[in-house]
Homo-oligomer: A and B are copies of this chain.
Amino acid sequence: MTDDLLEENQLQVPEGYTRMEWFQGFGRQIGPLYQRDPGDGSYTRAFPVCEHHTNGMGNCHGGMLMAFADMAFGHAVSLHANRYWVTVRLLTDFVSGAKKGEWVEGTAEITGESDGFYNVKGRIWVGDRTIMTGTALFKGMGERPKRK
């Protein structure tokens, strides 16, 4: 077999997204994850629902959506404050399901900041369809290295 079939079967990554090169730990295990970061403070993270993300019904597992919410919402703190952070509380509301092969996107915005804690409100969607809404409380940790 030549590589032609494999090349044609490659994921068509939507414009502006780059793959997050996580090579270890949980980020690698549940990847691939993608990020779009135009530099104006807005951002989205995304992943294609693969077989290894599915539940018994062949849809994206709720646990995967929650793990993605943590990563997608928390990034608001990284961009806003340039700090490392830990999750203190996360509330996720499941609005709709995501099917295998769908491109799931998410983002969040800072809604409050006090004593080093950050309130965040986020949303996860596929196309026009909201998959999950949520709020989170993150605790800011040490400063991150400056981004290039």
Contacts and interface: CB of A to CB of B under 8 A. Distances in A.
A55 B25 contact: yes
Interface stretch (A62-70, A111-119, A121-129): A62-70
Q: Quick one: copies of this chain in the complex? A: 2
Interface bin, chain A: 20 to 34
A89 interface: yes
A28 interface: yes
Contact of A87 (B29, B62, B87, B91): B62
Interface stretch (A1-9, A10-18, A46-54, A102-110): A46-54
A91 B91 contact: yes
Which of A25, A53, A89 gathers most chain B CB within 10 Å? A25
A93 B55 CA distance: 24
Contact of A90 (B29, B61, B64, B92): B92
Contact of A70 (B63, B68, B86, B88): B63
Given A89-B93, A92-B90, A93-B88, A62 B56 contact: no
Contacts of A89: 91-94
Contacts of A29: 29-30, 52-53
Contact of A53 (B26, B71, B91): B26
Contacts of A93: 88-89
Given A27-B55, A66-B92, A90-B94, 7 more contacts: A26-B61, A26-B63, A29-B53, A30-B63, A63-B68, A66-B67, A66-B90
